[in-house]
């Protein structure tokens, strides 16, 4: 009988210990590109691009922003944030991202790494496109100057990149630009458009919200909305 009781107590002790062990594993911070709902969908020599889509009632787990990064908001949601090692949880808000199309830069080079957990406490999914810069320092490229070019509004300029927002109603077009550094386009509102490239036929596209295009340096183009809905995207050139 003593052996049966001892065995039962041992099994009970193991059962009680397992949730705690599981919790410790769950709470261990991981790199940003390994976090729940942060799905890598593209990578090259310059960046790792993530599709971040957090369903209602779910969280990202603790993850580390270990390098300079950018996020472009697509659909805001009510979120709380908690820094690793802190018991404080921020009041529900919109995850600091605001309305669709807002782009934010996380400056790890200046401010150091950040480890936190975001929880979607609202009824709608939270969705953004984020990218992590692989290089720890600027490459020294010269980005284009689009000031005064129709359709382009500069929204970001720092040591790592420059960014512009473009919003075109049906029939509207941008002025022509020449991209002088490699970069990325992220669509906030999709539709039907044409890229007009000198010496070439117009190139039609039908992107969706959250689609993206990698763009090499040296491209000269204008963009026209040939559809029936608003098109909005954000373009980045990397320094």
Whether the predicted pLDDT of 4 surpasses 50: no
Model confidence at 77, pLDDT cuts 50, 70, 90, reads confident
Q: Indicate the residue among 104, 133, 162 that finishes a domain.
A: 133
Within a domain: 16: no
Q: What is the DSSP letter of 23?
A: H
Within a domain: 21: no
Q: Indicate the residue among 77, 105, 133 that finishes a domain.
A: 133
Whether the predicted pLDDT of 221 surpasses 50: yes
Shared domain for 117 and 36, answered yes or no, is yes
Residue 26's pLDDT is 62
pLDDT in tens, 176-208: 999 999 999 999 999 999 999 999 999 999 999
CATH number, domain of 114, equals 2.60.120.10
Shared domain for 49 and 95, answered yes or no, is yes
- Radius of gyration (C-alpha) of the chain in whole angstroms: 23
Shared domain for 76 and 107, answered yes or no, is yes
Within a domain: 18: no
Q: Indicate the residue among 83, 101, 133 that finishes a domain.
A: 133
Whether the predicted pLDDT of 12 surpasses 80: no
Whether the predicted pLDDT of 21 surpasses 50: no
Mean pLDDT of 144-164: 98
3-state class percentages of the chain: helix first, strand second, coil last, to nearest 5: 15, 40, 45
Which residues on neighbouring strands pair with residue 205, listed in sequence order? Answer: 193
- Higher pLDDT, residue 148 or 7: 148
Number of domains present in the structure of the chain: 2
Whether the predicted pLDDT of 209 surpasses 60: yes
Residue 89 phi/psi, 5-degree rounding, is -120, 125
Measured at the CA of 144, the angle between CA 140 and CA 145, to 5 degrees, comes to 125
Whether the predicted pLDDT of 75 surpasses 50: yes
Residue 24's pLDDT is 55
For residue 185, the enclosing domain spans: 153-238
Mean pLDDT of 156-181: 98
Q: Of all residues in the chain, what percent carry a pLDDT higher than 70? A: 87
Contact predicate 217/140, CB 8 Å? no
Residue 76's pLDDT is 83
Shared domain for 169 and 119, answered yes or no, is no
Shared domain for 122 and 53, answered yes or no, is yes
Within a domain: 160: yes
Shared domain for 114 and 197, answered yes or no, is no
Residue matched to tokens 């369903």: 55
Shared domain for 78 and 169, answered yes or no, is no
Mean pLDDT of 47-75: 97
Shared domain for 34 and 93, answered yes or no, is yes
Contact predicate 37/52, CB 8 Å? yes
Within a domain: 83: yes
- Please, what is the average pLDDT of the chain? 90
Within a domain: 144: no
- Higher pLDDT, residue 87 or 9: 87
pLDDT in tens, 86-103: 999 998 875 445 689 999
Residue matched to tokens 């810069």: 133
Chain center to CA of 88? 25
Residue 175's pLDDT is 98
Shared domain for 129 and 34, answered yes or no, is yes
Whether the predicted pLDDT of 52 surpasses 90: yes
Shared domain for 50 and 98, answered yes or no, is yes
Within a domain: 197: yes
Which bin fits 98, alpha (ψ -120 to 50), beta or left (φ > 0)?
A: left
Which residues on neighbouring strands pair with residue 38, listed in sequence order? Answer: 52
Shared domain for 79 and 163, answered yes or no, is no
Shared domain for 209 and 170, answered yes or no, is yes
pLDDT in tens, 94-138: 544 568 999 999 999 999 999 999 999 999 999 999 999 999 999
Within a domain: 138: no
3-state secondary structure of 8: helix
């Amino acid at each position: 009988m003593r052996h049966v009781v001892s065995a039962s107590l041992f099994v009970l002790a193991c059962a009680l210990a397992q949730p705690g062990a599981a919790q410790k594993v769950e709470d261990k911070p991981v790199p940003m590109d390994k976090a729940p709902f942060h799905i890598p969908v593209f990578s090259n020599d310059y960046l790792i691009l993530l599709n971040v889509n957090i369903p209602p009632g779910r969280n990202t787990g603790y993850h580390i922003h270990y390098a300079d990064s950018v996020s472009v908001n697509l659909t805001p949601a009510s979120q709380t944030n908690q820094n690793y090692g802190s018991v404080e949880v921020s009041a529900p808000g919109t995850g600091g991202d605001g309305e669709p199309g807002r782009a934010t830069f996380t400056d790890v080079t200046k401010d150091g790494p950040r480890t936190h957990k975001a929880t979607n406490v609202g009824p709608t999914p939270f969705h953004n496109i984020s990218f992590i810069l692989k290089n720890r320092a600027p490459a020294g490229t010269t980005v284009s100057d689009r000031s005064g070019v129709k359709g382009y509004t500069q929204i970001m300029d720092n040591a790592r990149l420059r960014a512009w927002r473009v919003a075109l109603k049906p029939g509207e077009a941008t002025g022509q630009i020449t991209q002088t550094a490699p970069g990325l386009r992220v669509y906030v509102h999709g539709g039907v458009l044409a890229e007009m490239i000198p010496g070439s036929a117009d190139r039609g596209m039908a992107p969706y919200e959250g689609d993206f295009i990698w763009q090499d340096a040296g491209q000269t183009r204008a963009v026209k909305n040939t559809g029936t809905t608003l098109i909005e995207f954000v373009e980045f050139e990397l320094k």
